[in-house]
Copies of this chain bind each other. A is one copy, B any other.
Amino acid sequence: MNLIGGGELNGRKRRGDELMEIDGMEAQIIAVGTELTIGQVLDTNSNYLSQSLDALGVRVVGIQVIPDDRVTMRRAFEESVAKYDFTIVTGGLGPTDDDFTKFVLRDMFGGDWKEDAASLAAIIDYFSRRGAEASPRNLAQASVPSSCDVLFNRLGTAPGMLFRRGDHFLISLPGVPFEMKALFAERVEPLIMSQSNRRNFHRTLQIYGIAESDLADRLRSWESSLSPEFSLAYLPSLESIRLRISAKGEANKDTEAHAESKVRELRNILGPLLFGEGDESLADVVGKLLVAKKASVAIAESCTGGGVCKSLVSVPGASLYVRGGIVAYSNAIKERLLGVAESEILDCGAASGEVAEAMAEGVRKLMDSDYAVSTTGVLGPQGDGSCTPIGTVWVSVSGPLGVSTKMFRVRQSREIGMALGVSRALNELRLYLLREE
C-alpha cells in the first residue's frame, strides 16, 4: 500500500455532497500529552508546524492540545479527519504506559498490527550503539497499525505514521522536536505539495535596525505593487524582524520571476537593514564576513555580561575568528585590563561613549585582533550612581577604519535590555565590516 501521491485535489474538494472551489487546503494540529496540559512542557512543535503549514499555503484552522486520554484523543482525531484535509498529530508515541496514539489510531482506522522491519532494525541498532539491549517495550515501538504507511524516523525509535480516509490525511509524528521536524520536512512537506497545485513559493528575509511599524510604512508602496497572489508576514523578535514573502496561486514561471524581481526590489529598498535570509542570525552573518576577510575579532563587554561573545561563539566554526572576550563588569577591570583611563570613568561614568571606545580599542590591542566590539551601559533596576539614565547602552566597534561608536536606549527590563544590547552590538559590527566592502 502506498498512500503517498495517491490523491489529487486540483483546487477542489468535496464537503458533504457539495463539490466546491476552494481557496486552499486546511489543516488542524493536535498535540497530545498530559505534560503539555499541566504545563510541564512548553509546546513548541505546534508553532513550528503552524509556520511550516502556513508557508506551504495550508490554512491552519486551529491547534488542539489534549491530555493522554484515549476517549479525548479518539474524539479529537475523528472530528478533525472528518473536517480537514490534514490532521497533524504530535506525541503519544513513546514506549510507556501513557502513550496511546497508535492504539487509538488502530481502533479508528482498523486493521491489525504489523512489524516495520526498518524501524525494528533501527531500534536494535540505536540501543546497541549505546552498549545496551533493546527491551521488549522498546522493540514494540516497531509495531504499527497495518492501516498506515510508515514514515521512517531516522533520528529516534518511534516511527511516524500516515493514515488516509477519503481525501483526508492523518499524520502521526513523534513529540520529540528534532525528530518531528526532520520527519515533517522529509516526508510530510512532499506529501502536502503533491496534494496541491498551488505555488508555495516563499522567502524569508532577515531585517535588523528598524521598528516593525516603520518597516511597514517604508514598504507600503512596494507592497501595493505586489501581484495579488503575494502576501507579506512580519515575524518580529528581539534579534530581528523576519519578513516572509509568500506567493499563492497556480504554480508557474511567471509567479516565480515576479517574486524574484520583488525580492530584488526589496534588497534595494532596505539596503543594509536586510542582513540575511532564512534562519541566518546576525552572529552567522558576522562570522561569514570575518571568514571572508580572514580576520579575527575580540569582544569587551560590560552591561551585556558576556552575551555578545556567547552569541558569536555559538556559531559552529567560531574558533576560526573569535580570539576571545573580556567581561569588564567592574571599573577596576575596565582600567587594569583594557586600559580605560580612570579619569574617563570619573568624568562621565562607566557608561559613556569614551569608555566604550577605550574598551573596544583596549581589547583589540590586548587580544591582537583585527576587529573588536564593546558594550557598556546601565540596564537597571538600579542606576550606577552617575547621571546616566537607566536604559542607556553604548556600543563601539574598533578596526582598520578606526573606531565607530553609537548610543541607544532601551525601555524594557534588564533581561530584554541585555538581549537588545547583544543584537545591537552584533549589528554594529556587521555594519562596520560591510562599510569596508
Contacts and interface: CB of A to CB of B under 8 A. Distances in A.
Interface of A: 36-40, 42-44, 46-54, 60-67, 72, 233-235, 299, 301, 304-310, 312-314, 316-319, 322-330, 332-333, 337, 366-368, 380-382, 384, 414-415, 418
A309 B316 contact: no
A37 B62 contact: yes
A-B CB proximity, top 6 nearest: A305-B313, A306-B306, A39-B51, A39-B50, A306-B309, A63-B65
B329 A323 contact: yes
A49 B37 CA distance: 9
Contacts of A67: 60-62
A316 B50 contact: no
A44 B42 contact: yes
Contacts of A53: 39
B48 A39 contact: yes
Most B CB within 10 A of own CB, among A53, A305, A337: A305
Contacts of A384: 319
A62 B65 contact: yes
Contact of A329 (B234, B304, B324, B330): B324
A40 B309 contact: no
A39 B314 CA distance: 25
A51 B38 contact: yes
A245 to B, nearest CB: 14
A63 B64 contact: yes
B314 A310 contact: no
Contacts of A46: 43, 65
A10 B66 CA distance: 26
A37 to B, nearest CB: 4
Contacts of A330: 319, 322-324
Contact of A233 (B40, B328, B329, B366): B40
A217 to B, nearest CB: 16
A317 B39 contact: no
A414 B316 contact: yes
A107 to B, nearest CB: 20
Given A38-B51, A67-B61, A366-B337, A415 B314 contact: yes
B329 A327 contact: no
A319 B310 contact: no
A72 B40 CA distance: 28
24 contacts: A37-B54, A37-B62, A38-B233, A39-B52, A42-B47, A61-B66, A61-B72, A63-B63, A65-B65, A304-B310, A306-B307, A306-B308, A307-B310, A309-B329, A313-B327, A316-B414, A317-B382, A318-B329, A319-B384, A323-B332, A325-B325, A325-B326, A333-B367, A337-B366
Contact of A305 (B39, B62, B309, B414): B309
Contacts of A299: 306, 327
Contacts of A316: 380-382, 414
A314 B414 contact: yes
Contacts of A50: 36-39
Contacts of A40: 51, 233-235
Contacts of A326: 324-327
Nearest to A384: B319
A313 B306 contact: yes
A147 to B, nearest CB: 26
A219 B302 CA distance: 43
A327 B306 CA distance: 8
A143 B398 CA distance: 53
A424 to B, nearest CB: 15
A8 B313 CA distance: 57
A336 to B, nearest CB: 8
A329 B333 contact: no
B306 A329 contact: no
Contacts of A43: 43, 46-47, 63
A309 B234 CA distance: 33
B37 A418 contact: no
